[in-house]
Amino acid sequence: MAVISARIMTFEARPSSERSRSTWFSPDDAVRLIEAAAQAKPGHHVVWGVSNNSRRWVSLIAGERMGFRPADDAEKYLDPAARADDAPQRSGEMLHLGGPFTQFALGRARQ
C-alpha cells in the first residue's frame, strides 16, 4: 500500500500575493501530484504540494522520488516589474513557512 502525506501550500488558480511567489500550487500541478500518487510505489511518501516556483522555500526531492514533477512557476504570472525584484523581504507573513498562522500565541484563541 502507498500512503501519501502531502503538505498543500497556496492552492489557487494564479498566485495572488508576494508570499505565493514561493508557495503557489497550481491546479495543473495538483493534478500531476494526484496522478503521481496513484502510481506511487508502496510505502509512506511525505511530499510538498507546491509548484516548481523559482522562489520556492521547500524541496521537491521527495515528490520527485515518487514521480511528482511540477511544471508551473508563479513567476510567469507576475508583471515584469515584480519579476525584477530578486530579493523580497522575509518579514511578517514571509518570515515563517506557516505564514499568518505563526503569528498567534500558542494556547490562545484567535481574535
Domain boundary assignment for the chain: 2-79+95-103
Residue pair 57/22 in contact (Cβ under 8 Å)? The answer is yes
Q: What region does 43 belong to: left with phi over 0, alpha with psi -120 to 50, or beta?
A: left
Residue pair 50/58 in contact (Cβ under 8 Å)? The answer is yes
C-alpha cell at 105: 500565541
How is domain 2-79+95-103 classified at the architecture level of CATH?
3-Layer(aba) Sandwich (3.40)
C-alpha cell at 59: 524541496
pTM of the full predicted structure? 0.77
pLDDT tens readout for residues 80-99: 655 555 555 555 555 556 66
pLDDT recorded at residue 110: 62
Q: Which residue has the higher pLDDT, 84 or 52?
A: 52
Calculate ∠ Cα 57-62-67, nearest 5°.
120
pLDDT recorded at residue 97: 63
Closest CA to 54 of 39, 36, 75: 75
Range of lowest pLDDT (8-12, 33-37, 84-88): 84-88
